Amino acid sequence: MQEASGGARTRRYLMCPPSYFDVAYSINPWMDTARRPDRARAIQQWQSLRDTLSAVGHRVEVAAPAPSLPDMVFAANAAVVLDGKVLVATFRHPQRAGESARFEAWFRDRGFRRVRRAASVNEGEGDHLLASGVLLAGNGPRTAPSANAETQEYLGHPVLGLTLVDPRFYHLDTALAVLDTDDVMYWPGAFSPSSLRRLHRLFPDALEASEDDAAVFGMNAISDGRNVILPAAAHALAGKLAARGYLPRPVDVTELGKAGGGPKCCVLELRGAPAPPDGPTDRPTPTARLRPEGAG
């Protein structure tokens, strides 16, 4: 496989532009309908994230947004994709339920042959992170524990359930990030005592972040084993990552954070995806296609 910047392996990601992004409802503690995002600025921040991924050598594919689904920008929640198999999300909240059909259609149109909609409430890669050959599964606020058996059977990887106990960290990817094959970072306060014991056994040398790191979505980071894309507000965490030999790449995601998301929420890794369509998939999206409604 081709190498990305710094010797890390090239990844393929799915993203969805925030053309209709808004905080029109509240389904997590970060969402306040009185604190609406600046959509034009959110689009700029999203584009900067996409450009950063492309700059370090990763491929980005893009799904079309829908006017009635403002959270489609958080593409990590769309599915789990492993070995070319796609387990499409079934969302807990009705406000996001329509995303499942949109993303399922994208995968089928894109040439994925093995696509299934989850039978249990299962919010995709937001709650499923692959490390040490195990799918770490966040259970509690969103993904149901009953989803774990289906995920393991269909995707063919062992699933380790981790109970999330702080409502602010409603998805696993807001509380834990995979830095390399056998290296993770997490905020201990997001997990139940039994789940912490599991993490300690599996990752005895993990970076245990502070609550301050987590509160600025520092755990919602994208790592290729060398480059770590994380929120610019996570200053202290960037220093800790550099001390461990990683290359922090800060991005501003303050507008997306108003809906409870950061860099990782915006990308879904396409592991074992079919060959990409003809032509580059990482070229910048034309500005006109990203212009928010009402913009001049």
- The residues carrying an active-site annotation are 171, 265
- Give the 3-state secondary structure of residue 48: helix
Give the residue from 73, 36, 109, 100 showing the smallest Cα distance to 285: 73
In what helix (H) or strand (E) does residue 278 lie, and over which residues does it extend? none
- Give the 3-state secondary structure of residue 117: strand
Give the residue from 265, 235, 240, 228 showing the smallest Cα distance to 45: 265
DSSP state of 246: -
Contacts of 230 (CB under 8 A, 6+ apart): 218, 220, 221, 222, 237, 238, 241, 248, 249, 250, 251, 262, 263
Residue 239, phi then psi, degrees to nearest 5:
-65, -40
Contacts of 45 (CB under 8 A, 6+ apart): 251, 252, 253, 254, 255, 256
